[in-house]
Structure 1
């Protein structure tokens, strides 16, 4: 069980941190957290479902199980212990089950009224990442093949550089207009690039179009919606009417560009977008996008506003671990040393860690998702943290 943690006030928390500081490596932390996760894994290999904390929407166990599959397989690779191999395989078995893909198309990720059950392309990114990450470690060719299959069934337009959403019953739902959804889906697929020419070509085409699709405010803040060239959008809608939402996208784009409320949301997702791009760079490091003004300006905004973005002032949106997302961005996109990033990761983990179970902790309905997010640490080298 994930126990409740009570903190009297901010000053008490600081004093406790100073008097009870502990050094631990990322590998040690992952192992301790995975050990506790064994106690909450269900008989079918799944983990308790979370809720989308931003909108408080009910989710299926797909997201949490995907995160834990990554962590458990990584800990098995680190320790070689059979218990983690068994648990990781059980999680993968669940993600490959008919329950998760009831129609044989996309993963069933949420049950929210009047919203798709696939949760756009971002919902699909989690299980694709899990299958592509754990598959090679566990020797699960079936996991890799399924990841490629689900990635490939999402229609991709190379002219616009965007993926379409596909409902769990196979119905095509037009393009996902949210930038971080597109970036996270590309990041999930990037690890499959060496396994599939189709995946490699589509992620590369996505990067080729990113400067056009990823629009920035004048100060470098990343805008929430993609914005392909309007003429290209009109042509696509004329030929394929289901893309009519892209016309709406063009109309609301200008309104949202001047909205203070939308800007708060975009500040929350700035680190999400950049940390996902940093994952893509690991597989597509030679692409010219990384030296573009678009990336440089968005990184500059991150550096100037780092403290506010990490503390998520005036926004509930974005990463549950913004310090970790920032550290990942600076390491892979900003070419900072791992030593420089220890403080960012240490502070973020310290604020969220249950010191008995070594599970990441969050109040309310987000607790299961937050605990599973320990998987985000597998992208770092085995640096030493100070908790």
Structure 2
């Protein structure tokens, strides 16, 4: 895959992906839905459309071509339509028996991030307002520093106990935090509690579930026992899974997911004391010590699909190093020899619609030449 100059850049990949992606966009502005690669469950078009919106927006910023602007606005229109928020509350992200339709906090994070990041580029105040509105729908416990899930019909479910979901949700909303006081305050409170809520194994591996202080958990349950009782179950599950080898394999996959999302918060909350805590240092050391194993791949379908790119972002943001120093890590996830831009991400065993939309992971990186 070469440009006319013989050099391929990250911007080349993004622009070509966006151009080819135009043929995939449907009349309503959406893109074909993918499947949750972890559990192979069907999704609605919300996540893939959110990812493609980021790609189209970046392509427009690179080229200023109106074809990308028009396609991006169509994707925004879809994400603002009644089809995806049928009751006017949270986004309908999946239809899986016995599971919520909102897909917890992580399902809502994708459209919030996409609308927040693109609203200013295309002067779409309605996109920004919707991102803020969906964020505000989620009850936040100041005592625990955690958000609760909200179903598509507006009913409050319970706390999302998965740590990476909480971090990803806060990182998505952080796109507009500096200009919205309530978002800034809640994310600040979330970071205040994170040094407690985030627990580690002795080697620095981040545990999958949040674990607030027990006394705080009990107080929270007493405020809403019917929907928060599962936090007591969480306390039991936390101890049980601490000794599970299978769970540790899963947690290894999510180490970079957690730290990559945290790295997005750091420049927006640069002075927060969490960045100086021992837990974060130990978690980063785990990535440095196990980088080769993480990039080679772990025998699990949990976690980041692009470990090299994730590690590059983490070290670039936390260490303040030049992104060019991480070129090899980025290239480890790319297939530059392909003639088809949709095969640029070297990922096996993933639904095609999900995989090709994941080129969005490149949109928050600065441009660089690739070998």
Task: State whether TM-score is above 0.5.
Answer: yes
Counterparts of 1:292 and 1:377 in 2: how far apart (Å)?
A: 29
Aligned to 1:171: 155
Give per-residue Cα distances to partners, 1:158-205, cap 9 Å, x unaligned: 111100000000010110000000000000011111231111111111
Partner of 1:118, secondary structure, is coil
Give per-residue Cα distances to partners, 1:123-173, cap 9 Å, x unaligned: 000000000011111110000000000001100011111000000000101
Aligned to 1:11: none
Counterparts of 2:349 and 2:23 in 1: how far apart (Å)?
A: 20
Partner of 1:232, secondary structure, is helix
Superposition pairs for residues 193-232 of structure 1, below 5 Å?
A: 193-232=177-216
Q: TM-score, normalised by structure 2?
A: 0.96
Give per-residue Cα distances to partners, 1:296-335, cap 9 Å, x unaligned: 0000000000011122222221111111111111111232
Aligned to 1:13: none
Tell me whether 1:311 sits opposite 2:296 in the alignment.
yes
The CA deviation at 1:356 is 2.1
Matching residue within 57, 60, 64 for 1:73: 57
Aligned to 1:366: 351
> Which runs of 5 or more structure 2 residues have no equivalent in the other structure?
none
Tell me whether 1:240 sits opposite 2:207 in the alignment.
no
Matching residue within 308, 311, 324 for 2:309: 324
Counterparts of 2:38 and 2:344 in 1: how far apart (Å)?
A: 18
Residue 121 and residue 354 in structure 1: after superposition, are their counterparts in 2 closer, same or farther (change >3 A)?
farther
**Partners of 1:345 and 1:385 within 8 A in 2:** no
Superposition pairs for residues 94-133 of structure 1, below 5 Å?
A: 94-133=78-117
The CA deviation at 1:285 is 1.5
The CA deviation at 1:252 is 1.1
Q: TM-score, normalised by structure 1?
A: 0.92
Aligned to 2:139: 155
Residue 163 and residue 254 in structure 1: after superposition, are their counterparts in 2 closer, same or farther (change >3 A)?
same
Matching residue within 298, 314, 326 for 2:283: 298
**Partners of 2:161 and 2:234 within 8 A in 1:** yes
RMSD: 1.4
> Which runs of 5 or more structure 1 residues have no equivalent in the other structure?
1-16
Counterparts of 2:133 and 2:292 in 1: how far apart (Å)?
A: 40
Residue 354 and residue 133 in structure 1: after superposition, are their counterparts in 2 closer, same or farther (change >3 A)?
farther
**Partners of 1:62 and 1:109 within 8 A in 2:** yes
**Partners of 2:95 and 2:101 within 8 A in 1:** yes
Aligned to 1:385: 370
**Partners of 1:32 and 1:358 within 8 A in 2:** no
Counterparts of 1:219 and 1:120 in 2: how far apart (Å)?
A: 29
Counterparts of 2:85 and 2:52 in 1: how far apart (Å)?
A: 19
Partner of 2:149, secondary structure, is strand
Counterparts of 2:341 and 2:295 in 1: how far apart (Å)?
A: 25
Counterparts of 2:73 and 2:338 in 1: how far apart (Å)?
A: 26
